[in-house]
Amino acid sequence: MPASRDAIRAYYDRNTKLFLAFNRRAENIHRALWMDGVRSRGEAMNASNELIRAEIENLAPARARIADLGCGVGASLLHILPRLQNPQPACGLTLSPVQARLAQQFAKEAHLDSRILFIEADFTAAPLTGGVFDAVYSVEAVVHATEPQNYFREASRLLRESGKLILIDDYQANRPLSRSEDRWLKAYIEGWHVPGVLTVEQASAFARASRLRLTKNQNLTPHLRLRHLPDALARTLLLIGKYLPLRHPILPSMLGSMALQQCLHMGVIEYRLLVFVRE
């Protein structure tokens, strides 16, 4: 059964503090990218933020107005905004009230609560003024959209003409899948509540329908450090996990993580940076 907004909200409400406990720092909810020149795990964790910052600065060197759609606990905005030249106040949206509260707490601790507002809201119906943002972005968030075409429509509404939509996310390979590959893709989608996994071609079509033109498509998968298992062992663990008596939502999340690693290794899923311009 496809994930609903309520199921996705509950998934993050129940799991976010565990994600942070496992990773120790808020930034670690998103994946590390070991780009050329990256020397530490901290730098790898912020590599995606630096890619986004470069796209924003290329468009608006100063006074940028930005929003993070699907901001999680706010780590990306808390990294990016202080590094921009005299930016406008920014906004982050998350479907999870737990994440919104944590993000605002982290902003206060970083003395950025007067410059960033984090709110609980659906990014397909954002309570924000349209046509004013230089850039909106999402990291590992659009995959959670139950109707991803509505995400692109809303992003387009928010952007000014020539503004940028910047996405870093998982995209399904545009090719026929074997039975084994299809099984792993479904396990990832179910475990991580990601009904909005698209091919790049599908994302581009939704974007074009909302006056967004694809200008960059960069494969980031080679910069991940994968932890895939031998297929037979992974399938055995997946089967055992489905029948364990443990019912905490962290279990399907862990199984989904394992499935994602298998998908990335097999090339079923690719981790990509896409940039669109509002026409």
| Domains of the chain: residue spans and CATH | 5-172+195-228+268-278 (3.40.50.150)
Residue type, 16: T
Query: Which is nearest to 196 in space by CA: 123, 269, 144, 271?
Result: 144
* Alpha helices, H only, the chain: 5-23, 41-45, 47-59, 75-80, 97-109, 148-158, 179-192, 200-209, 231-243, 250-266
Q: What is the pLDDT of residues 77-106, one digit of tens each?
A: 999 999 999 999 999 999 999 999 999 999
Q: Write down the pLDDT at residue 80.
A: 98
Q: Which residue has the higher pLDDT, 248 or 62?
A: 62
- Spatial separation of the C-alpha atoms in residues 178 and 187, rounded to whole Å: 14
Which tokens belong to 12?
Answer: 């993050």
Q: Write down the pLDDT at residue 23.
A: 60
CA distance from start to end of the chain: 36
Query: Which is nearest to 72 in space by CA: 141, 23, 11?
Result: 141
Would you call 51 helix, strand, or coil by DSSP?
Answer: helix
Whether residue 26 has pLDDT greater than 70: no
Query: Which is nearest to 30 in space by CA: 145, 166, 168?
Result: 168
Q: What is the CA radius of gyration of the chain?
A: 18
> pTM of the full predicted structure?
0.92
Q: What is the pLDDT of residues 195-254, one digit of tens each?
A: 999 999 999 999 999 999 999 999 999 999 998 888 888 888 887 777 666 666 677 788
Q: Taking the CA atoms of 151, 157, 161 and 164 in sequence, report the sign of the dihedral they define.
A: negative
Q: What is the pLDDT of residues 170-187, one digit of tens each?
A: 999 999 999 999 999 999
For range 110-122, the mean pLDDT: 96
- Spatial separation of the C-alpha atoms in residues 74 and 120, rounded to whole Å: 12
For residue 138, list its beta bridge partners. Answer: 167
Q: Report the chain's mean pLDDT, rounded to a whole number.
A: 91
Q: Which range is least confidently modeled, 98-107, 147-156, 264-273?
A: 98-107
Number of H helices, E strands in the chain: 10, 7
